Amino acid sequence: MSEFKTKRALGIDFFDGTSIEAVDYISSHGGLVVAPAAPSFIALQKDLECRRAMAAADLAIADSGWMVNFCWLLLRERLVRISGLKFFRRLLERPECREPGKMFWILPSEKAKAKTLEWARASGFPTAADDCYVAPRYGSDARDEVLLSIIRERRPKHIVVAIGGGMQDKIGSYVKSNCGYRPGIYCIGAAPGFVTGDQVRIPMWADRFYLGWIFRIFAQPRVFLPRFWSARKLPWLIWKYRKEMPPLI
């Protein structure tokens, strides 16, 4: 973390620069990128693997508008917000992303794969079916030898982990520790799905004003209402633990 400026909140060092600088750094150095949402901070108290994944990150971006706002209101600490959506769009501007075999997608379903391939064809990205891996339903363990063997063989420069449910950071950490080289590994929430159409599309103005969560609730209320309700504990965590990671309970 010493190679760039960071600011710490809840035990995580968040990148203190622009989205372009963040993308350029990982494109040059490789490493694991995380973008913890509000529920992820709550999970730090109960999920040891989540804590380890956050600790393994080479770059963390402050994607959560709630976390950024509460850090300012409660601690007077101004974090630079870089949304996962903005970060991902910047990544797609990299020239190598339009080279065959440079991008690899870890996806949650065949539907997501079809959406990704359809988007890639329409947008001029040379993404083939072999560049996509439909992950199995993981339990608490993110180990996946089939995925690992594919990545070791193909050696993509950029690996996009587009799986939700609290698993993507664990998968990213597992790949980083075992793939045998240093790609960029992007665990940036639902941002890839916003772009490909697998998730509800969020306008950039809504993302800029921290309103993407409203679109997600309207699209899938049964999924996201409980998830966002759990985030009600976030202000208390920020006030109590400030720069330190909450202990396991």
> Domains in the chain: how many in total?
1
Domain annotation covers residue 2: no
Q: What pLDDT shows up at residue 232?
A: 81
Q: What percent of the chain has pLDDT over 70?
A: 86
pLDDT band at 18 (very low <50, low <70, confident <90, very high): very high
pLDDT for 68: 92
208 vs 9, which has greater pLDDT? 9
Encode pLDDT of 150-184 as tens digits. 999 999 999 999 987 678 999 999 999 999 999 99
**Mean per-residue pLDDT of the chain:** 87
The total of other beta-carbon atoms located within 10 Å of residue 142's CB is 20
Is 248 part of a structural domain of the chain?
A: no
Number of Cβ within 10 Å of residue 1's Cβ equals 13
* Residue 146 placed within a domain: yes
Q: Is the pTM of this model over 0.85?
A: yes
- Asked if the structure places residue 246 within a domain, the reply is no
Measured between alpha carbons, how far is residue 149 from residues 46, 137, 152, 154, 178 in Å?
31, 18, 5, 9, 10
* Residue carrying the six token digits 């990148």: 15
Q: What is the pLDDT of residue 200?
A: 53
Residue 4 falls within a domain, yes or no?
no
Residue 114 confidence (pLDDT): 95
Q: Domain range holding 146?
A: 10-241
The answer to whether residue 214 sits within a structural domain is: yes
- Would you say residue 132 has pLDDT above 80? yes
Q: pLDDT band for position 64 (50/70/90)?
A: confident
User: Where is pLDDT greater, at 231 or 57?
Assistant: 57
What is the mean predicted confidence (pLDDT) over 220-234? 66
Looking at the DSSP assignment, which residues form a beta bridge with residue 106?
A: 133, 161
Q: Is residue 118 part of a domain?
A: yes
Check pLDDT > 60 for residue 24: yes
Would you say residue 222 lies in a domain? Answer: yes
Pick from 19-28, 190-199, 207-216, 238-247: least confident:
207-216
Both tokens of residue 222?
Answer: 């049964």
Q: What is the mean pLDDT of residues 54-76?
A: 91
- Write down the residue that tokens 């794969």 correspond to: 113
pLDDT tens profile 89-104: 999 999 999 999 999 9
